[in-house]
Structure 1
Amino acid sequence: MVSFQKPPSTVRIFDRNDYYSVHGIDATTAAREVFSSISNIKKMGIEPERLDYLVLSKGNFEILIRKLLLVKRYRVEIYVPEGSSKNSEWRLEYKGSPGNLTQLEEVLGEGLGASNENAPCLMAVSFKTDAVTKGRLVGVACVTAADYQFAISEFADDDLLTELETITVQMAPTECLVIQGDNDDQKALKKVMERTNVTVTKLKKSDFSTEGLIQDLNRLLKFKENQQQDANVFPETGKQVAMSSLAAAIRYTTLLNDSSNFGRFHLSTIQSDGFLHLDAAALSALNVLPELGDTSHCPSRSLFGLLDRCRTQQGKRLLAQWLRQPLRDINLINERLDIIEVLLNNSQLRLQLHEDHLRRISDLQALARRLTRKKANLQDCYKIYQAIDRLPSLLQCLGQAESATVHSSLAEPISELHGDLDKFQQMIETTVDMDAVDRGEFLVKPSFDEQLQNLREQLDRLQSMAEKELRAAADNLGLEAGKNIKLENNPQNGFYFRITIKEEQTIRGNKKYTIIDTAKGGVRFKTNALDCVTEEYVQTKEAYEKEQDKVVSEIINIATGYSECLFSLSHMLSRLDVLVSFAVAASTAPYPYCRPVITESLEEFILKDVRHPCLEVQEGVSYIPNDVEFKRGSCVMHIVTGANMGGKSTWMRSCGAAAVLAHAGCAVPARLAVLPRLRAVRARLGAADREQQGQSTFMLEMLETAAILRRPRLRAVRARLGAADREQQGQTTFMLEMLETAAILRAATPDSLVLIDELGRGTSTYEGCGIAWAIAEKLATESKCFCLFATHYHELTRLPSLHPGVIVNSHAEASVVNDQLVLLHKIVPGPATHSLGLHVAKLADLPESIIKYAEEKQAQLETNLFEVEASVEAQETTEGQKIILDFLRKCKLIQETIESDENMMIEINKLKQELLQQNSKYVQSLMSC
């Protein structure tokens, strides 16, 4: 029965055998996803209750399912009729959600999840308040059915759920299960999942009950030899909050309904501290992964697109995982870098692996899963055989490296797995008819089974009889067998003869021959004798196929025992694929990459001539590299000023990208890279920047505003609104900035890299400046993290004088030549001498009258405080500020002690005269403004 109440994010599809239909609002959703238009929608029923509906072919149905689940992150329900009559009730047959694709694998095939960049991961989260500390305890469970993995974690978290967001980024779930409710925990979790593009599904509290969980785990988990067959032996089962989440995930995915899952799953603890922490804002700001639904993998759009030279599907999935989970273990990082260095130095080895060996290997992970689910066929077994058969030459190729690291971490494990799979290879060679494979058929060798051999001999005999009938017909009609008249066979008609239309007259009126049909390809016909051969052939072939199915079933049962070994081989080959991909990306870059040096010391962070890896590969771009340097005792924060589009944001992003690549074990686009072992990279960068077009947020604002001013009449609705506003969640751009910055302030430590750009623009100038000042000072003096802080509040350039040896000024160079703005895209020491916003506005073609009026207003409002401070030495500025503060304190004391306004002004004027007599350049310059 169909229940009509449902959320808009659930789409119902009706299976009508030859086609599919979608109705109501779902028809609109489907039409937009499949056809990018609603013109295909039709109406059914009688007014006024006519209903929209859309008809889908099987191909369009598959497109829709993939887009809904993998891109939109919607849920899908597929209904089938219970009977054959038109008035039959509809029954829910299949359902799927972003994190649970098991049932739909039967509809679309096993590759639905595996072909995606990430194997679908389902997360469940529950909360518990600690009775003693009153703190929040979070329990997380992740289920990745494609890998047969359970991963759990239990930890205390803050009210912004900072740690949960880190784990969500690392694990990349597509769906999150939570208990129904609307308390503060649920609200905070919902915001985390919105930022990370994860679908939230609410379940009853009873679904999170751990009753019977241990018994379920006893059936699902794989135990080691001689290990007690009791899930209580795993330390993870003692974490009760995480276990309640795992119980909900197991129920939701109905894993116990499929016996092929029994004894397959591995239970582990999520080791989030083993990886560089990236939150959703950093992931987005640094363009680590492509946007949801972007399948172009354009090298200039994301680090993933740049590095994805992988030849295997499992390699692509592992690449995405490595970028979400950059390492913190220096030894593991150097192991990857050692292999990449070998590949970069040996171009022949690199090309052989990339162009020859890896491209011929199928998705072993997906094939191994098909084996375990007993969904595999002979063709799947042959694909596995082909991959195994490729291993000796691949190992020989790796032997050319003459590297201990390559041998121990790649060649030796692959060689051992090849040995373990030797009997699988022999089984396929013994059972599969290789001659038939060359014809595109996947059959069992008849000689393998006596019954099959007998049936094969009968089929061969019947084939000979049919060919004998062909020769008889050819002689009778005076045609040449195999040339003018041919023998053919198909499932619909069995054996038949075919002649060209030109020869049709030879059988016209001849009662010995029965015409089947006449088409452009010729005339098809048969005889009674050929009919008899066909009838016996069909029966024999059915018997042969039944017998072959029994043999294939036995082969699959035996092959299933090798699935664990195949999963391990898939992991090793995907690892090799990603490392080769890193080397290929580095070797084909416009300028050389360097091997980064990761140190335990937090004393320095140096990048020489660092470039943004995505921007430098754009056509027509001549990239200008820059340095980034932090040294404790001289600088841990750069206050970065300068013109819009001058390169500040790109400089900061190139620094963040280099840090991520280095920790992922990849070469870095720089001349030199010495980085400390970081714990986290946090970023709060311009929400609307278009780096590919060289357009800053401010430039975009000016372009949009100029367009509005050029068309003042109400011929169209035009707007210039906050680019990053999330109206659905009631969050303005400024609110989002504050949320992201609050998370940074809580998480920033001396081993963090923090990138902040244009903070405080969404409120009044002085309030925004105050907020930016306070945040910058806290990060520099209390968090003591490495920080690039870009701003247009020139007041912040005073911070270096207040905190020498901690904060320095840097700026993006720009010049005005003949009233034209020239951006040099070079970051140099010191503050910018003046703002160039009006020149950017001119570039955006803002009307001349607006520019002139803005210049007049600027002259009236500007205090020139920045220019005063830029014109004197830092020490004189500090002394002058102390004098001014002393003056203000004395004025306040006069105000509090003298009641008469007249007497108060007399005393203040005396103080002013004393101030003017001070021998301070700073005070004199300020008083002359």
Structure 2
Amino acid sequence: AIAAMQQRERERTGISSLKVGFNRVFGYYFEVSRANLDRVPPDYHRKQTLANGERFFTPELKSWEETVLRAGERIIALEASLFAAVRERVCEHLSAIHAVSARIATLDVFAALAEVARRRDYVRPEVGDGFALEIVAGRHPVVETMMPREQFIPNDLRLDQSGCVVILTGPNMAGKSTVLRQVGLITLLAQIGSFVPARSASVGVVDRIFTRVGASDNLVRGQSTFMVEMNETAAILNGASERSLVLLDEIGRGTSTWDGLSVATATTEHLHDQIGAKTIFATHYQELTRLADRLPGVVNFSVAVREEHDEIIFLRRLVPGGADRSYGVDVARLAGLPPAVVERAREILRELETGGGTSSPPPPRRPAQLALFAAPPHPVVERLRATDVNQLTPVQALVLLAELASGARA
């Protein structure tokens, strides 16, 4: 209709460049260039003046515009009416639709679990009311998909009344965290009715799975890495029961060695003596392996490593007993630290293992000067003594440090 009107007006006026346009402000219009303004018929009413021409409308164009706009409004109204009718019809069968949707969702989940079980050679686990958790040749369901099947090393693990707490030691990158995660995922898969990635699995039903894996701080709440660790550990100790599965990774690494070891030891003792939950505790604290000598339910496992010509090879196989070394310097070398730094680290490690200190000479001591009268304490020292650092957020600590530095220089 627009194209026909445009062609008809071109023939009537003799203006070959005349065209019909539209915008949201002025609606539909005829646009005529300035060179052809003398040909404009008297029934053309000016609507807008431009630099290179003018825009007009006619009663016919105005009538057509009103028809189009009313048609658009009628289309919107009709669409809303039809949608409301469809919605009412759907609401009449809402319960049936919800039931069908739930069944389709259930079938979708079962089909997905069945497909991955068939494709990845999962097995049907035995799920019962017993306490024991036994996994033979267990695999991580995600990690194994990112490498060829023959490259993933499966592992066996058993947790029962005689050994409910496993202390898992070994170097970084050896696969301790992977073992923790795969045990948790296999337990979860078994309890939702799925086959599991293992040669066989017997799973005693657990009421909850607690994890403390990874290190992170919370700057928004002013919590350090260690505080976040302790919050999560507290939630585990306050919420776990004998039927829970607890997976802990590196508790206490966010603070000093002895503080961290003390907290880790006390946590393990509480899980063993008071709660009795099935627990796997991955740690670098070799001292924790001594708990197996005095706690009957604690057993030691480690991730095997082989040394060849000053090189370490991660076998990623669980073996009974604790790790004899942490291989931290070797891992640092694999990570790309400069050779000079690695060699210096080896020297310091040998000195520390033999009971000595670092080879750096101690700073010269200044001769003591006895004073006739006791010197008044420095204001900075007094302010430090009066400050409770445990109540400071990171931002407050930085502000306080700047003020103390300014006071010390004054």
Give the 3 Å change call, closer, same or farther, for CA 735–491 of structure 1 in structure 2: closer
Structure whose alpha-carbon radius of gyration is higher: 2
1:269-311 Cα shifts (integer Å, max 9, x gaps): xxxxxxxxxxxxxxxxxxxxxxxxxxxxxxxxxxxxxxxxxxx
Is the Cα contact below 8 Å between 2:13 and 2:40 reproduced in 1?
no
Question: Counterparts of 1:498 and 1:608 in 2: how far apart (Å)?
Answer: 83
Larger relative contact order (C-alpha < 8 A, sep ≥ 6)?
2
Aligned to 1:313: none
Q: Equivalent residues in 2 for 1:581-596 (5 A)?
A: 583-584=111-112, 587=115, 592=120, 594=122
Question: Counterparts of 1:834 and 1:535 in 2: how far apart (Å)?
Answer: 86
The one-letter amino acid paired with 1:789 is F
Aligned to 2:9: 473
Aligned to 1:654: 182
Is the Cα contact below 8 Å between 1:495 and 1:531 reproduced in 2?
yes
Aligned to 2:408: none
The one-letter amino acid paired with 1:746 is N
Secondary structure of the 1:607 match is: strand
Aligned to 2:40: 511
Aligned to 2:278: 786
Give the 3 Å change call, closer, same or farther, for CA 628–557 of structure 1 in structure 2: same
Shift of 1:682: 0.9
320, 324, 347: which one pairs with 1:833? 324
1:637-658 Cα shifts (integer Å, max 9, x gaps): 2211111221111210222233
115, 136, 139: which one pairs with 1:611? 139
Secondary structure of the 2:234 match is: helix
Is the Cα contact below 8 Å between 1:609 and 1:672 reproduced in 2?
yes
> Normalised by the size of structure 2, how large is the TM-score?
0.66
The one-letter amino acid paired with 1:790 is A
Is the Cα contact below 8 Å between 1:496 and 1:530 reproduced in 2?
no
The one-letter amino acid paired with 1:511 is V
Secondary structure of the 1:814 match is: strand
Shift of 1:853: 3.1
Is the Cα contact below 8 Å between 1:494 and 1:538 reproduced in 2?
no
The one-letter amino acid paired with 1:747 is G
Shift of 1:829: 2.5
Q: Equivalent residues in 2 for 1:239-318 (5 A)?
A: none
105, 127, 133: which one pairs with 1:599? 127
1:626 is the counterpart of 2:154: yes
Is the Cα contact below 8 Å between 2:47 and 2:57 reproduced in 1?
no
Structure 2: give runs of 5+ residues left out of the alignment.
357-410
Give the 3 Å change call, closer, same or farther, for CA 580–540 of structure 1 in structure 2: closer
1:530 is the counterpart of 2:60: yes
Q: Equivalent residues in 2 for 1:677-716 (5 A)?
A: 677-687=205-215
Secondary structure of the 1:861 match is: coil
Is the Cα contact below 8 Å between 2:123 and 2:197 reproduced in 1?
no
Aligned to 2:267: 775
Q: Equivalent residues in 2 for 1:778-857 (5 A)?
A: 778-804=270-296, 806-844=297-335, 845=337, 847-848=341-342, 850-857=344-351
Question: Counterparts of 2:112 and 2:48 in 1: how far apart (Å)?
Answer: 57
Shift of 1:493: 4.8
Shift of 1:748: 2.1
Question: Counterparts of 1:820 and 1:855 in 2: how far apart (Å)?
Answer: 17
The one-letter amino acid paired with 2:39 is N
1:742 is the counterpart of 2:270: no
Shift of 1:746: 2.5
Give the 3 Å change call, closer, same or farther, for CA 737–621 of structure 1 in structure 2: farther
Question: Counterparts of 1:764 and 1:532 in 2: how far apart (Å)?
Answer: 84
Question: Counterparts of 1:550 and 1:799 in 2: how far apart (Å)?
Answer: 77
Give the 3 Å change call, closer, same or farther, for CA 817–516 of structure 1 in structure 2: farther
The one-letter amino acid paired with 1:776 is T
Aligned to 1:559: 87
166, 173, 190: which one pairs with 1:638? 166
Is the Cα contact below 8 Å between 1:601 and 1:677 reproduced in 2?
yes
Shift of 1:479: 9.8
The one-letter amino acid paired with 1:740 is E
- The range that moved more, 625-634 or 555-564, is 555-564
Shift of 1:589: 9.6
Aligned to 1:136: none
Is the Cα contact below 8 Å between 1:842 and 1:851 reproduced in 2?
no
Question: Counterparts of 1:467 and 1:793 in 2: how far apart (Å)?
Answer: 84
> Normalised by the size of structure 1, how large is the TM-score?
0.32
1:520-561 Cα shifts (integer Å, max 9, x gaps): xx999666353353365368548x639x73894596378357
Shift of 1:855: 2.7
Aligned to 1:861: 355
1:480-536 Cα shifts (integer Å, max 9, x gaps): 9xxx9876766555555689x9xx98x5631228587899xx999666353353365
RMSD: 4.5
The one-letter amino acid paired with 1:612 is H
Give the 3 Å change call, closer, same or farther, for CA 650–525 of structure 1 in structure 2: same
Question: Counterparts of 2:69 and 2:289 in 1: how far apart (Å)?
Answer: 90
Shift of 1:797: 2.4
Is the Cα contact below 8 Å between 1:726 and 1:732 reproduced in 2?
yes
Question: Counterparts of 1:489 and 1:667 in 2: how far apart (Å)?
Answer: 64
Shift of 1:573: 3.4
The one-letter amino acid paired with 2:236 is I
Is the Cα contact below 8 Å between 1:594 and 1:671 reproduced in 2?
yes
Is the Cα contact below 8 Å between 2:160 and 2:278 reproduced in 1?
no
Secondary structure of the 1:815 match is: strand
